């Protein structure tokens, strides 16, 4: 990714959060993506979410694989460490990093090629492992950097820029994540920041793998008539199943509650996610029901969006591994090395 | 037939042929340990199939009063417990040797040899008589032949019984059964054969400062001692027992006593690619992280290894080599991955590689590997093999200096970052080719983008030729400067130096040493250098320069070590000769002598001064 430093000009009336930072402080270098790229809107939503959540920039670790989507970690929070890894393998780097340092906030940015083709295995296993991270899949149905090949999320019949219709069935990341036991599954649209920002905030507060599939149109290769990942198609076929409000910890709502069509779920860090059901019969805590509902919506050619499934009580990777609460990187060497006495002990058995 | 004078006490090759999955491993281990406890130098080699149950498997024990531990294919005694492999087992015993077999079903005449002694014991019948239940009968058959060997070889019965008592202290019924089985075999042998055989054993005091361990267990312990906290792996023979060992020692030493929680994290990955990614992720955060694997795993990890090299992320990989290419022979040994590890990944890469020769070095080099990886901020390999990793080796007791401080390399702490105006990840400020790194979560001034794409010395993405080349040149200089920090070669030189020098690596060492002694006894003296690390140091270069003929002995087909020497030193090609053995067994003295002899009969080449 090219490196273009942004001018440091700040509007004097910009809102400041409790860390003394403005929303501009959560920006990164200038995007080099195409003008109008959905990914830039996702970046903007992330910047807003970090600002509103008052994330300390240096406590954030941002990771990606390879592809247009994977360039975006450079475009937000310059003062956070970033890792642009290899194609499709970001989840393993995130898992290892999180294993070593559990106290940082992890955000992984991927795309449909990165997550559903070359990296499908790692994507699935990060879900199984329930790595504590926000995992964004910027989904445009197409390979942009290599100029317009279909990706594994392209729908049957969706056409390429040259007019060829895709014939192979898509891998639906939401369905995949749900069937693998993901504990936080959402779908949104880069063109709907109002929906996306609270979902991202909820995902950042989730204890475990928070998966957000964001339809993020490719203006250059997949925004034409005949594409099912275009701005126009997504807008006209979006079906918001659930509206999400994110209530941070400091507003002091501590108990779980349910009032009519609003369902509140207390997150691991004490914040509350309020889910307003658009459809009465929808229950975002019943995995099988969610899968059924989504199958119905999908069969009508509609795209269900919202925080579709949430389960806050499960163990994350550290729960499975029974790791100590403090980050492994902070344990002093003296506590790790058994010393000459330990060696003597072990060698008694080597006879 | 055999005469006592043909054999020496405490000089014996013993091979036990069984069926895998029948519990023979514990009986064979018992036997090996008993000899070790009698103070006799001993080594054990497990020759096993890539299978769970039902195929032929062998265990070779070499007893040698002089302490030679290399594999020896001269078997004076074969315990033939597997009719399926009778033909080849019986053929393998040396003329004048002995074959112990189960004569519950008598041997077919086709297997008979006139030049060996057959010792038939009705093991199955006796076990049916003494034990109830098919599983225990199968297991006790193994212990019964151990009992017979106690009588035949004059093994110390008290030692054997003491070990059984230790092993089954909490399982009285098993202890009783094992005792009974030992007695049954022992008594039968005493009553039916002329015990002990001329190949008998006698207590010595040559093992008291030694321990018996596998290389993989020692490497695993080394990771604990190095302070590694994250281990990521995918199961693969013959590397699995590294992670088994790490798990065991971590459970023992690394569980927080107050909370019962782990001061470590072991991730069983979905494949080796992910294992490498995890190790790199953890290394990026500042943890000491490693992955044990074998050649196929390194192949899969190669893309990530290039990333770690280029982005300068410390990480440690253990390659417990097995026979390649492809799946190859997964339960046989080889040194087929020397080139692979030295240059793993696409593009220009070069890595630090350490070559242990025994479990002691597996322990020591594993600790050193983490220091080197962090000091040079680069992937570091410990290249062992199946023979070192999975077999039982007698080694001097390991030692630990409690004042040891790990070398974490140049890592800027928060207070140091506070003072600097700007931090640039790849800027070499002191000219040693190693640049300071920062860890995530420490300070916002330390933030940078870790990437495998082209970058300049400031850590910024670049497609500029000069900026790219500048970083690549520093990387090369950095890894090459590690030559002075990898373990120095071990050199065996005769007074004044000889014109012929042998160069070898890793597990070849023991056969080379034994062969060198044997040749010296015949008046043929050769110098010998064992390489322990890559990049090669000046000492390696000097040895090559000092010898007119250099014979490179290694366990692969393609002369990988020899070719590495040609690539990485100024040694002339004409000087180098090659001795290769790559059949999958550990190297033995015979291979070496046979291999070097043609080069020794030549006229000595003048040494250039």
* pLDDT at residue B2 greater than cutoff 90: no
Query: Tokens for B59?
Result: 């265990």
Categorize the per-residue pLDDT at A225 as very low, low, confident or very high, splitting at 50, 70 and 90.
very high
Give the model confidence (pLDDT) of B366-404 as tens digits.
Answer: 999 999 999 999 999 999 999 999 999 999 999 999 999
Mutation target for A interface from B214, B273, B444, B454: give the one with most A CBs within 10 A: B444
**Separation CA B454–CA B336 (nearest Å):** 32
At A144, list the tokens: 């942009």
Q: Tell me which chain A residues have a C-beta less than 8 angstroms from the C-beta of B266.
A: 321
Mean pLDDT, rounded, for B233-238: 98
Residue from B166, B247, B278 to probe the interface with A (highest A Cβ count within 10 Å): B278
Task: Indicate the angle between helix axes B172-192 and B123-130, nearest 10 degrees.
Answer: 140
In this predicted structure, what is the pLDDT of residue A274? 86
How far apart are alpha carbons B60 and B63 in whole angstroms?
10
Name the residue in chain A with its Cα closest to that of B213: A350
- Note whether B579 and B552 are within 8 A (CB): yes
Find, in chain B, the residue whose alpha carbon is nearest to that of A62.
Answer: B449
Quickly state the pLDDT bin for B497 (edges 50, 70, 90): low
Query: What was the pLDDT predicted at B53?
Result: 85
Rounded Cα gap, residues B255 and B314, in angstroms: 25
How far apart CA B570 and CA A307 sit, in angstroms, is 65
- Counting one residue from chain A and one from chain B, the pairs whose CB atoms sit within 8 A come to 229
Tell me which fold the domain B490-600 belongs to: Rossmann fold (3.40.50)
Query: pLDDT tens, B564-593?
Result: 999 999 999 999 999 999 999 999 999 999
Alpha-carbon distance of B489 to B40, in angstroms, equals 29
Asked if the Cβ–Cβ distance from B440 to A104 is below 8 Å, we say yes
Contact residues, chain A, for B262 at CB < 8 Å: 321-324
pLDDT band at A248 (very low <50, low <70, confident <90, very high): confident
Is the pLDDT at B70 greater than 80, yes or no? yes
Tokens of B260: 């019962």
* Closest residue by Cα to residue B368 from B522, B242, B486: B486
Architecture of domain B213-396: 3-Layer(aba) Sandwich (3.40)
Partner residue opposite A347 with nearest CB, options B254, B397, B462: B397
Q: Give whole-number Cα distances, B470 to A84, B422, B457, in Å.
A: 21, 20, 8
User: In this complex, which of B304, B406, B446 lies closest to A86 when CB atoms are compared?
Assistant: B304
Cβ(B47)–Cβ(B112) below 8 Å: no
Q: Which residues make Cβ contacts (< 8 Å) with residue B122, sequence separation at least 6?
A: B102, B103, B104, B188
Please list every residue in chain A whose beta carbon sits closer than 8 Å to the beta carbon of residue B304: 86, 89
Burial class, B404, CB count within 10 angstroms (exposed 0-12 / middle 13-18 / buried 19+):
middle
Please give the mean pLDDT across all residues of chain B: 95
Instruction: Name, in order, each residue with C-beta under 8 angstroms of A288's C-beta and a sequence gap of 6 or more.
Output: none
| CB pair distance less than 8 Å for B447 and A61 | no
Confidence check: pLDDT of A256 > 70? no
Which residues partner with B46 through β-bridges? Answer: B59
Q: What are phi and psi of A111, to 5 degrees?
A: -130, -175
Contacts of A21 (CB under 8 A, 6+ apart): A51, A54, A57
Write the DSSP assignment of B520-587 as a string of letters: HHTT---EEEEE-EES--HHHHHHHHH-SEEEEEESSTT-HHHHHHHHHS---GGGEEEEE--SSSPP
Contacts B284 to A, Cβ<8 Å: 81, 83, 93, 96-97
Does B447 contact A81 at a Cβ distance shorter than 8 Å?
A: yes
Give the pLDDT mean for B121-134: 95
C-alpha distance from B88 to closest chain A C-alpha (Å): 33
Query: Which positions in chain A touch B32 (Cβ < 8 Å)?
Result: none
**Interface probe with B: pick from A57, A328, A347, most Cβ of B within 10 Å:** A328
Which residues in chain B have their CB less than 8 angstroms from residue A93's CB? 277-278, 280-281, 284
Strands of the A258-259 sheet, one edge to the other: A242-247, A272-277, A262-266, A258-259
ipTM exceeding 0.85, yes/no: yes
- The residues, any chain, with a CB within 8 Å of residue B44's CB and separated by 6 or more, are B28, B29, B32, B59, B60, B61, B62, B391, B392
Tokens of B27: 């009986």
Q: What is the pLDDT of residue A314?
A: 86
B84 vs A262, residue with greater confidence: B84
Q: Hey, are the CB atoms on B398 and A343 less than 8 Å from each other?
A: yes
Average the pLDDT over A265-289 and give the result.
86
Residue B605 confidence (pLDDT) above 90: no
pLDDT of residue B6: 62
Segment A146-168 mean pLDDT: 94
Is the Cα dihedral A179, A185, A187, A190 positive or negative?
Answer: negative
Measured in angstroms, the CA of B343 and the nearest CA of chain A are apart by: 19
Residues of chain A with C-beta less than 8 angstroms from the C-beta of B281:
63, 83, 92-100
Among residues B100, B185, B189, the alpha carbon closest in space to that of B143 is found at B185
- For residue A5, the model assigns a pLDDT of 64
Q: Residue B211: which of A94, A333, A347 has the nearest Cβ?
A: A347
Chain B positions touching A95 (Cβ under 8 A) are 267, 274, 277-278, 281
Q: Output the six-digit token pair for A82.
A: 């970033």
Which of A2, A59, A97 is the closest to B284 by Cβ? A97
C-alpha distance from residue A98 to each of A62, A63, A123, B166, B401 (Å): 11, 11, 15, 42, 32
Query: Please, are residues A118 and A72 in contact by the beta-carbon 8 Å criterion?
Result: no
The 3-state DSSP class for residue B488 equals coil
pLDDT at A255 over 50: no
Distance CA B441, CA A273 (A): 27
Among the partner residues A97, A122, A340, nearest to B270 by beta-carbon distance: A122
Burial class (CB in 10 A: 0-12, 13-18, 19+), B50: middle
pLDDT of residue A258: 47
In order, the DSSP letters of A202-223 are HHHHSSSEEEEEEE---TTTS-
Q: Which helix (H) or strand (E) holds A157?
A: none
Average of pLDDT values for A49-72?
96
Nearest to B221 among A79, A325, A346 (CB): A346
CA A142 – CA A113 distance, rounded (Å): 8
User: What is the spatial distance between Cα B167 and Cα B453, in angstroms, rounded to a whole number?
Assistant: 56
Question: CB distance B286–A101 less than 8 Å?
Answer: yes
Does the reported pTM lie above 0.90?
yes
Sequence-ordered strand ranges (E) for A140-181: 142-143, 149-150
Predicted local distance difference test score (pLDDT) of residue A1:
43
Under a CB-based contact definition with an 8 Å cutoff, are residues B18 and B57 in contact?
A: yes
Torsion (CA) A42, A47, A51, A54 in degrees, nearest 10? 90
Mutation site for A-interface testing, chosen from B262, B447, B456, B463 by largest number of A Cβ within 10 Å: B447
Handedness of CA B435, B440, B442, B445 (dihedral sign): positive
pLDDT of residue B111: 94
* CATH class of the domain defined by A23-330: alpha beta
Query: Can you tell me whether residue B344 is helix, strand or coil?
Result: coil
Domain locations in chain B as residue ranges: 4-192, 213-396, 414-483, 490-600
Nearest to A84 among B278, B281, B450 (CB): B450
Residue B606: the pLDDT is 45
Task: Considering only residues A88 and B50, tell me which one the structure prediction assigns the higher pLDDT.
Answer: A88
Burial A211-232 (b: 16+ CB within 10 A, else e): bbbbbbbbbbbbbeeebbbbbe
Q: Which of these CATH numbers, 3.40.920.10, 3.40.50.300, 3.30.70.890, 1.20.58.390, describes B4-192?
A: 3.40.920.10
Residues of A in contact with B400 (CB under 8 A): 339-340, 343
The reply to whether residue A337 touches residue B224, judged by beta carbons under 8 angstroms, is: yes
Q: How far is CA B424 from CA A9, A142, B463, in A?
A: 23, 36, 18
Q: Tell me, what's the pLDDT at B494?
A: 82
Q: Which two tokens stand for residue B167?
A: 């092993």
């Amino acid at each position: 990714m090219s490196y273009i430093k942004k001018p440091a000009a700040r509007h004097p009336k910009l809102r400041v959060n409790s860390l003394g930072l403005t929303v501009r402080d959560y920006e990164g270098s200038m995007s080099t993506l195409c003008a109008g790229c959905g990914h830039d809107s996702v970046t903007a939503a992330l910047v807003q979410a970090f600002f509103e959540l008052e994330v300390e920039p240096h406590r954030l670790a941002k990771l990606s694989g390879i592809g247009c989507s994977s360039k975006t970690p450079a475009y937000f929070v310059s003062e956070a460490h970033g890792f642009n890894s290899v194609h499709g393998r970001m989840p393993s780097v995130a898992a290892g990093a999180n294993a070593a340092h559990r106290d940082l906030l992890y955000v992984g940015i991927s795309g449909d090629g990165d997550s559903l083709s070359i990296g499908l295995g790692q994507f699935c296993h990060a879900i199984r492992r329930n790595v504590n991270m926000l995992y964004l899949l910027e989904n445009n149905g197409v390979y942009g950097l290599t100029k317009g090949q279909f990706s594994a999320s392209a729908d049957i019949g969706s056409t390429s820029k040259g007019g060829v219709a895709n014939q192979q069935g898509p891998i639906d990341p939401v369905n995949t994540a749900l069937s693998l036991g993901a504990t936080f599954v959402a779908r949104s649209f880069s063109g709907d920041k109002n929906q996306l920002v609270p979902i991202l905030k909820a995902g950042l507060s989730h204890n475990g793998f928070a998966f957000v599939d964001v339809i993020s149109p490719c203006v250059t290769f997949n925004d034409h008539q005949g594409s099912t990942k275009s701005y126009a198609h997504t807008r006209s076929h979006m079906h918001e199943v659930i509206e999400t409000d994110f209530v941070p910890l400091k507003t002091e709502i501590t108990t779980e509650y349910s009032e009519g069509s609003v369902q509140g779920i207390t997150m691991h860090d004490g914040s509350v996610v309020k889910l307003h059901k658009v459809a009465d019969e929808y229950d975002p805590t019943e995995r099988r029901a969610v899968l059924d509902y989504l199958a119905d919506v999908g069969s009508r050619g509609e795209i269900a969006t919202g925080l579709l499934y949430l389960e806050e009580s499960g163990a994350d990777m550290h729960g499975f591994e029974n790791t100590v609460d403090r980050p492994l990187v902070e344990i002093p060497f003296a506590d790790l090395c058994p010393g000459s006495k330990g060696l003597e002990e072990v060698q008694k058995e080597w006879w | 037939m055999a005469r006592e004078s043909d054999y020496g006490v405490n000089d014996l090759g013993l091979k036990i042929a069984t069926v895998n999955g029948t519990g023979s491993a514990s009986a064979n281990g018992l036997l090996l340990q008993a000899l070790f406890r009698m103070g006799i130098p001993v080594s054990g080699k497990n020759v096993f199939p890539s299978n769970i149950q039902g195929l032929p498997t062998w265990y070779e024990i070499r007893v040698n009063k002089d302490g030679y531990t290399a594999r020896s294919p001269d078997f004076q005694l074969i315990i033939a417990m597997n009719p399926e492999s009778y033909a080849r087992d019986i053929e393998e015993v040396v003329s004048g040797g002995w074959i112990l077999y189960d004569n519950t079903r008598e041997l077919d005449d086709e297997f008979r040899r006139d030049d060996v002694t057959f010792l038939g014991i009705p093991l199955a019948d006796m076990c049916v008589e003494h034990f109830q239940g098919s599983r225990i009968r199968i297991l006790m058959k193994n212990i019964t032949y151990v009992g017979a060997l106690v009588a035949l070889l004059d093994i110390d019965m008290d030692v054997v019984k003491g070990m059984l008592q230790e092993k089954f202290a909490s399982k009285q019924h098993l202890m009783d059964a094992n005792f009974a089985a030992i007695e049954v075999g022992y008594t039968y042998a005493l009553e039916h054969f002329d015990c002990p055989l001329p190949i008998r054993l006698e207590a010595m005091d040559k093992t008291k400062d030694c321990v018996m361990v596998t290389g993989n267990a020692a490497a695993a312990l080394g990771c604990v001692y190095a302070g590694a906290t994250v281990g990521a792996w995918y199961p693969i023979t013959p590397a699995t027992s590294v992670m088994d060992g790490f798990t065991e020692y971590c459970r023992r030493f690394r569980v927080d006593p107050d909370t019962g929680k782990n001061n470590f994290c072991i991730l069983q990955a979905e494949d080796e690619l992910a294992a490498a990614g995890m190790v790199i992720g953890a290394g990026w955060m500042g943890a000491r992280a490693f992955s044990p694997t074998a050649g196929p795993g390194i192949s899969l990890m190669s893309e990530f290894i290039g990333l770690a090299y280029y982005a300068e992320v410390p990480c440690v990989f253990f390659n417990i080599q097995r026979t390649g290419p492809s799946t190859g022979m997964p339960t046989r040994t080889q040194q087929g991955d020397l080139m692979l590890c030295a240059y793993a990944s696409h593009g220009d890469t070069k890595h630090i590689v350490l070559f242990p020769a025994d479990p002691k070095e597996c322990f020591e080099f594993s600790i050193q590997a983490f220091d080197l990886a962090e000091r040079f901020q680069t992937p570091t390999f410990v290249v062992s093999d199946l023979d070192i990793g999975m077999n039982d080796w007698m080694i001097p007791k390991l030692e630990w200096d409690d004042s040891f401080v790990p070398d974490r390399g140049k890592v800027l702490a928060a207070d140091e970052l506070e003072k600097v105006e700007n931090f640039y990840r790849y800027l070499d400020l002191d000219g040693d080719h190693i640049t300071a790194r920062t860890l995530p979560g420490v300070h916002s001034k330390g933030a940078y983008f870790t990437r495998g794409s082209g970058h300049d010395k400031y850590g910024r993405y670049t497609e500029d030729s000069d900026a790219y080349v500048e970083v690549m040149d520093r990387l090369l200089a950095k890894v090459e400067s590690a030559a002075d920090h990898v373990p120095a070669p071990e050199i065996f030189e005769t007074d004044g130096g000889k014109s012929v020098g042998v160069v070898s690596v890793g597990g070849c060492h023991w056969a080379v040493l034994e062969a060198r002694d044997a040749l010296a006894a015949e008046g043929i003296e050769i110098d010998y250098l064992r390489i322990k690390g890559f990049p090669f140091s000046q000492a390696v270069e000097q040895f090559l320069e000092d010898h007119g003929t250099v014979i490179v002995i290694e366990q692969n087909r393609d002369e990988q070590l020899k070719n590495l020497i040609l690539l990485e030193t100024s040694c002339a090609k004409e000087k180098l000769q090659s001795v290769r053995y790559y059949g999958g067994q550990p190297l033995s003295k015979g291979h070496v002598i046979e291999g070097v002899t043609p080069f020794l009969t030549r006229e000595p080449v003048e040494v250039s001064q």
